[in-house]
Amino acid sequence: MTYLTWRRELVRSAIDQMLEATDPDRGPFGDGGVLFNAMMQELTQSLPALEIVAAADDILTAHRGFCEGRSCEVAQALKVCLSMPAEKQGLERRLVLDRERVEHNALGHDANLLLVWDGRRSSAIEELSAAGLSERFPCQGTEARWNTDEFVALLEARALQCRRTRVALEIVAEDPATTPSAGTVVLVFPTDAGTRPWVATVAVALRSEELPESEPPTLDGYQAMRVLAGPSRTSA
């Protein structure tokens, strides 16, 4: 067995084991990415990130680059997540530069208003309505960079962070000395036009009379960056 074959089979085996532990009715990302992140962490202990990306490419190439099954869906997710560092650094800078817009979005309670950052344009984080986002970045057609399932997954992620913010504000109102964070999400379109978009969960510190100053918005922990995954219709 050559090294390239061993590398591909190692990644394929990890994907198969993850899918075996996955609830088939919920799909590979139905648990919020817990199993996926655990698999990714384990793989990075055996192979460098670029090697895993190359192995995922090999798996996708075997399927002619067109993902239908869940194993292909996970391989695509690996490729996206491990190619994130460049966009991650750029996004972290934008969270500081566009602090006011991000904080306003997190505290605005309007789940229809979505933050998006296009890595190819290296521009500011923008706030668009759901309709405006689908018009700017269509989910269908020859120029589509994502799909309808991913759009739905983004709306669900945004709604979840709106609930998080409401709860955080209630906690602060009851006890101003506490420091829960509000939250929002940023849709990121990578520099590589052929790479799927991903979503960043952002923590926004709350101000109170006792804590008038706060840190700028930050990526919310290890699972802050994840691929968007809507309902899976096929099986491996």
Per-residue pLDDT of the chain (236 residues; tens, 9 = 90+): 787 788 889 999 999 999 999 988 888 877 767 888 889 889 988 988 888 988 988 888 875 545 567 888 888 888 877 766 667 778 888 999 999 999 999 998 899 999 999 877 668 999 999 999 999 999 888 878 888 888 998 999 999 999 999 999 999 888 887 878 899 999 998 776 666 788 889 999 887 655 556 688 888 764 566 666 544 433 33
Q: Residue 65: its pLDDT value, please?
A: 45
Q: Residue 107: its pLDDT value, please?
A: 93
Backbone angles phi, psi at 113, to 5 degrees: -95, 125
**Smallest Cα–Cα separation from 171: which of 161, 157, 181?**
181
Hey, what are 177's tokens?
């000395």
Q: Residue 53: its pLDDT value, please?
A: 86
Q: Residue 14: its pLDDT value, please?
A: 94
Which run of H or E residues covers position 35? helix 34-44
As beta bridge partners, residue 114 has: 128
How many residues are there in the chain?
A: 236
Q: Residue 68: its pLDDT value, please?
A: 61
The residues near 60 (Cβ < 8 Å, ≥ 6 apart) are 67, 72, 75, 76, 79
Q: Residue 234: its pLDDT value, please?
A: 37
Backbone angles phi, psi at 174, to 5 degrees: -80, -35
Contact indicator for 115, 133 with CB cutoff of 8 Å: no
Q: Residue 44: its pLDDT value, please?
A: 87
Q: Residue 62: its pLDDT value, please?
A: 74
Q: Residue 210: its pLDDT value, please?
A: 57
